[in-house]
Amino acid sequence: MATEVKLPELGEGVTEGELVKWLVKIGDTVKPDQPVCEVMTDKATVEVPTAVGGVVKELKFKLGDVIKVESTILTLDGAGSSASSAAPTHKEAPKAAAPAPTTAPSAPRSQPAAMPATMHEMMAQNSGIYPPVADSKVLATPSTRRLAREVGVDLNVMKGTGLAGRVTREDVLSQGGNGASTATSSNGSMKAPTFPVPSYQGPAGATEERVPLIGIRRKIAENMQMAKHIIPHFTLMDEAEVTELVSMRESLKDYAEKNGTKITYLPFVMKAMIASIRQFPMFNASIDDAAKEIVYKKYFNVGFAADTPQGLVVPVIKNADQKSLLELSYEIMDLSKRARDGKLKSDEMKGATITITNIGSVGGTYATPIINHPEVAILGMYKISDRLHLKADGSVGSQKVMNFTITADHRLIDGAVAANFLKAFIGKIQKPGLLMMEMR
């Protein structure tokens, strides 16, 4: 009798995790409490132990699959001895503040599955075949079943939108992109776009290395592809004379340091941007394609792109309009640090209404950023440089200049509107004193 080992609770509010590594293979003998795989959640990478021992018979998921809590991750043969508990062990010791996993399955989950022996045999033999064979109860036409197989969708865990729960071609296609074994689509009616899945074959004998596209990298890939697919992007570029801004920041440095933080240009840019959005509310909006409506947001959650060893992440400062420059500084420092350490909570990366990308701190004069869908705009800030300036009295002085871009969703924002927005923004960032007038 095969025993099913399920994905235990991974922590408060975490309903799923992505399989990043198997620690066992078929045929391995495992002991109770032995970690069997590593699963990445929004919070951390977690080792998942088995509650019971036995011989690994079947691995139910492949690397990169998103697994829902309580899904069977593997089956064991000859399972018997069980551990007293099987709580996932966090690889990085969770900080005191981080919620520890509250519930852990305390008993081995070895309820005998109610299926005929032949069925069991079949399932056992099917190891290595993915997706698993659709059960006869699954309602999908033969061609849909084949499509599901070809795009890697497991029909057994899909909820069909068709009559009597029929899985339609569209259902399969909308799941096809993510290859997740456990369907997690919450917006059942919203059809996600589908993308071609070309294969790549290098020249024979070429030195190449293949690594699975999983984890943050895959999330980035999916998000970028979707954003570029849905949003008609355009980017406007201009430069601002930021001599005053530079001197203002210089003058505030000491104060910030005394208060335990570092002041960068980002909080100023945020403030100037929010003030500009108040004049141009379409920059703080979303398009609800399914409902064919524009959603104007009356709150200002500003995402900022952070480069981390794992890849790009975008922490979000909630209600940035209501925070002081000092508060913004604190929060930016904190979020950046935890982004680098891979310790951001999932809700700290969600809910942005507009995003700022600050690639200028590395280099480059201008970029054409990609909008973080469902947002409709992204503001780019670039490096500050000095330039010669002919003053009114004919003498030559030096000025600080900084380049900015605004990239917008052309469905909602026309070119002229974006130009006026950028002009308004530059007007404010050039005269940071003006910002004080509107600050609350």
Partner 1 sequence: MAAQQFDTVVIGSGPGGYVAAIRAAQLGQKTAIIEREQLGGVCLNVGCIPSKAMISAAHFLHKAQHDAETMGIHFKDISVDYKQLLKWKTSVTEKMSGGVKQLLSGNTVTIIVGEAEFKSSKELSVKTATGTDIITAKNFIVATGSRPIEIPGFKFDEKEIMSSTGALAMDAAPKKLVVIGGGYIGLEIGGYLAKFGTEVTVVEAGPALLNGVVDPECAQVVARKLTKSGVKVLLNAKAKGQKKSGSGYEVTIEVGGKEETLKCDKILVTVGRKPNSDQSNLKAAGLQIDERGFIKVDAQRRTNVPNIFAIGDICGQPMLAHKASHEGVLVAEVISGKNRVYDAKTVPAVVFTDPEIASAGMMESECKAKGYNDLNIAKFPFGANGRAVSLLETDGFVKMIADAKTGILLGVHIVGPEASNLISEAVLAIEMGARVEDLALSIHPHPSLGETMMEAAEATIGHAIHIIQKPLSKSKEARV
Residue (of 192, 178, 183) closest to 165 by Cα position: 183
| Cα distance between residue 238 and residue 240, in whole Å | 7
Q: Which two tokens stand for residue 160?
A: 């069909």
Number of alpha carbons in the 13 Å side-chain half-sphere of residue 148: 29
Q: Choosing from 120, 233, 373, 410, which is the catalytic residue?
A: 410
Closest to partner 1 by CB, 178 vs 372, is: 178
Site map for partner 1, 363-402, x if CB under 8 A? ----------------------------------------
Cβ 68 to partner 1 shortest distance, Å: 23
Q: Do residues 47 and 115 touch, judged by C-beta distance below 8 A?
A: no
| Cα distance between residue 169 and residue 150, in whole Å | 12
Cβ 136 to partner 1 shortest distance, Å: 5
Q: Say whether 233 is catalytic.
A: no
Q: 359: which strand partners?
A: none
Applying CB under 8 A, which part among 10-18, 163-171, 205-213, 276-284 lies near partner 1? Answer: 163-171
Applying CB under 8 A, which part among 66-74, 126-134, 262-270, 298-306 lies near partner 1? Answer: 126-134
Applying CB under 8 A, which part among 47-55, 127-135, 218-226, 359-367 lies near partner 1? Answer: 127-135
Q: State yes or no: residue 117 binds partner 1 (CB under 8 A).
A: no
Cβ 36 to partner 1 shortest distance, Å: 23
CA separation, residue 424 to residues 73, 215, 238, 403, 431 (Å):
54, 39, 12, 14, 11
Q: State yes or no: residue 122 binds partner 1 (CB under 8 A).
A: yes
What one-letter code names the amino acid at 172? V
**How many degrees, rounded to 5, is the angle at CA 398 between CA 396 and CA 399?**
130
Cβ 135 to partner 1 shortest distance, Å: 9
Kindly report the backbone phi and psi dihedral angles of residue 290, in degrees, each rounded to the nearest multiple of 5, phi listed first: -65, -40
| Cα distance between residue 292 and residue 311, in whole Å | 33
Residue 343 backbone class (left: φ over 0; alpha: ψ -120 to 50; beta: rest)? alpha
| Window 292-331: residues binding partner 1 (CB under 8 A) | none
Q: Do residues 402 and 440 touch, judged by C-beta distance below 8 A?
A: no
Neighbouring residues of 262: CB distance < 8 A, sequence distance ≥ 6: 253, 256, 329, 333
Cβ 140 to partner 1 shortest distance, Å: 7
Q: Do residues 69 and 7 touch, judged by C-beta distance below 8 A?
A: yes
Cβ 142 to partner 1 shortest distance, Å: 5
| Cα distance between residue 315 and residue 327, in whole Å | 15
Closest to partner 1 by CB, 142 vs 198, is: 142
Q: State yes or no: residue 202 binds partner 1 (CB under 8 A).
A: no
Cβ 69 to partner 1 shortest distance, Å: 26
Closest to partner 1 by CB, 84 vs 118, is: 118
Applying CB under 8 A, which part among 13-21, 118-126, 173-181, 432-440 lies near partner 1? Answer: 118-126
Q: State yes or no: residue 57 binds partner 1 (CB under 8 A).
A: no
Packing angle between helix 169-176 and helix 142-151, nearest 10 degrees? 0
Kindly report the backbone phi and psi dihedral angles of residue 223, in degrees, each rounded to the nearest multiple of 5, phi listed first: -65, -45
Q: State yes or no: residue 204 binds partner 1 (CB under 8 A).
A: no
| Cα distance between residue 288 and residue 189, in whole Å | 13
| Cα distance between residue 154 and residue 156, in whole Å | 5
Cβ 155 to partner 1 shortest distance, Å: 9
Site map for partner 1, 129-158, x if CB under 8 A? x---xx-xx-xxxx--xx--xx--------
Closest to partner 1 by CB, 198 vs 309, is: 198
Q: Which of 116, 202, 309, 394 touches partner 1 (CB under 8 A)?
A: 116
Q: State yes or no: residue 128 binds partner 1 (CB under 8 A).
A: yes
Closest to partner 1 by CB, 43 vs 145, is: 145
Catalytic amino acids? 410
Q: Residue numbers of the site for partner 1 (CB under 8 A)? A: 116, 122, 125-129, 133-134, 136-137, 139-142, 145-146, 149-150, 163-166
